[in-house]
Structure 1
Amino acid sequence: MIPPAKPGGHPRTTDMRAVCNGIYYQLKTGCQWAMLPHDFPPSSTAYSYYRKWQRHGVWERLNLRLLEQCRLQSGKSLQPSVIAADSQSVKTTGKKGEVYGFDGGKKVKGRKRHLIVDSLGLVLKVIMTEANASERIVTAYALMSLLEEGTQLLESVKSMLVDQGYRGDTFGLAIWLLIQAKVQVISRSGKSFEVLPKRWIVERTFGWLNWYRRLSKDYEHLPEMSEAAIYAVMIHIMLRRLSATSTTL
């Protein structure tokens, strides 16, 4: 699914495997692009492909394709029946243009990652917004975007698991009209920390992102590049999972 070289002109000499290795080295270590070791292609080349694939939607398509393979590998059907949504406010390294805000609840200046995941914690959709964006509006928009992309992953969804920030009859009605799924709000019984049934799935996904130092904060100037980084990280996680199983078999 990596775009082939354009026809005509000088043949492509860059190794796409080396480019991917350079991109994942930068995501894993969090180093600056200019500090990429010389074992990889030049940093300008690696970033050029990274940005180009983001503009053409390659990262998102790869993520959905591997998600289907991981579901089949786990004995699941292609279409999940349960999905979960949540958001995470993250700091930025400075004011990032218009997509920048303050989350009054979490006391965080920066941006907010909105994730929709399946029952395995694999990402269906990610959207980056300012930190004070409404979770309910963005989640409804994310589902609408998935439907417009023509994916079949939402056809069998019966339930969406959310926390108390998504409460409201209007949001529940919107989700029902979009995908005919029931919104299930899972609330804490008190103020102390507790592991909530099924809610830990999406929280674990946020934990996976912390394995990659580039995602410890939002370092990107463009929010779409922040989304591409999360898709790329999930692709790396799923590839390792698939390759480990094939090696064992």
Structure 2
Amino acid sequence: MRKKRYSSDLTDSQWETIKPYFTTERRRRHDLRRDILDAILYLLKTGCQWRMLPGEFAPWQTVYYYFRRWREEGRLQCLLGALRRTVRREVGREGEPSTLIIDCQSVSTSRAGGIASYDAYKSVNGRKRHLAVDTEGLPWNVLVHAAGDHESQWALQVLKPIRCRTERDKTIFADSAYRGLEEEVENKLEWTLDIVEREDEEPGFSVAPKRWIVERTFSWLGGWRRLNRDYERNTDSSETMVRTALLRIALNRLG
């Protein structure tokens, strides 16, 4: 058991909520799985390097091994899927949403390498985080791709996996960057794509109906220093980092 605790650590009640998803037959003097999760959350919150994790945690090689293993297994993705349904039910909604909001966020990349390109519209050299969230702001899919790729190129790739996991008809709200995809979304997914226009033509930020929800989710990510820039070499690691941060946010919503 670690003597020093950090504000990024899971609480006892949060760990008990997700513990069944990390079953193991090995017996240890302390719960390594919780220690690993706390280490990943610490790295996300502080933005430190893997090799600079404090000595109170497991060796960084062990932490990274489990991060990579859970990423490949899709364990954190599965856990987030269960938690978002629980959050929705607790606020009186059905487990599956009838409305999704899709948008993307451009972020700079580090010198780690990997897929990246220049987004001329936002003057960012890096990647885009493409999210489809429900009205609670929780993600139903996360996809990371080069910043120079237009949103419309990846919209269906973001939405198709959600279609495979749900039978409920949905209305997708999006901005004008997705214009022209209405018929394709209708034909391939049997969903409705609703383009939300800006009510205020003045330059600068304005609150748009429904779209403010996904913008709020992007602002949540800003509270995790590791996510202020994309430090991962592989996009699947980037997606897992985003999911892990939103996993903790979902746990906070459960109290």
Contact 1:143-1:178 within 8 A present in 2 as well:
no
Cα distance in 2 for partners of 1:39, 1:111 equals 33
Cα distance in 1 for partners of 2:134, 2:169 equals 10
Amino acid corresponding to residue 193 of structure 2 in structure 1: V
Amino acid corresponding to residue 174 of structure 2 in structure 1: V
Cα distance in 2 for partners of 1:116, 1:139 equals 9
Cα distance in 2 for partners of 1:165, 1:70 equals 30
Contact 2:112-2:231 within 8 A present in 1 as well:
no
Structure 1 residue 3 displacement after superposition? 4.7
Q: Which residue of 1 aligns with 2:95?
A: 78
1:219 aligns with 2:231: yes
Structure 1 runs of 4+ aligned residues shifted over 4 Å read none
Q: Which residue of 2 aligns with 1:133?
A: 149
Amino acid corresponding to residue 190 of structure 1 in structure 2: E
Cα distance in 1 for partners of 2:49, 2:235 equals 18
Q: Which residue of 2 aligns with 1:247?
A: none
Indicate how the Cα distance of structure 1 residues 167 and 67 shifts in structure 2: closer, same or farther if over 3 A, else same.
same
Cα distance in 2 for partners of 1:190, 1:112 equals 25
What aligned pairs does 1:1-249 form with structure 2 within 5 A after superposition?
A: 2-5=21-24, 11=26, 13=28, 15-94=32-111, 96-97=113-114, 99-148=115-164, 151-152=165-166, 155-168=167-180, 171-188=181-198, 189-192=200-203, 193-242=205-254, 244=255
Amino acid corresponding to residue 21 of structure 1 in structure 2: D
Structure 1 residue 137 displacement after superposition? 2.5
Contact 1:95-1:110 within 8 A present in 2 as well:
no
Contact 1:157-1:179 within 8 A present in 2 as well:
no
Cα distance in 1 for partners of 2:159, 2:47 equals 30
Percent identical residues = 36
For structure 1, the residue ranges without an aligned partner over 5 or more in a row are 245-249
Indicate how the Cα distance of structure 1 residues 128 and 135 shifts in structure 2: closer, same or farther if over 3 A, else same.
same
Instruction: Map Cα deviations across residues 10-56 of structure 1 (whole Å, 9 max, x no partner).
Output: x4536211111111011111111111111111111111111100001
Cα distance in 2 for partners of 1:145, 1:194 equals 31
TM-score by length of 2: 0.86
For structure 2, the residue ranges without an aligned partner over 5 or more in a row are 1-19
| SS, match of residue 80 in structure 1 | coil
Contact 2:112-2:232 within 8 A present in 1 as well:
no
The count of residues paired between Structure 1 and Structure 2 equals: 232
Indicate how the Cα distance of structure 1 residues 184 and 147 shifts in structure 2: closer, same or farther if over 3 A, else same.
closer
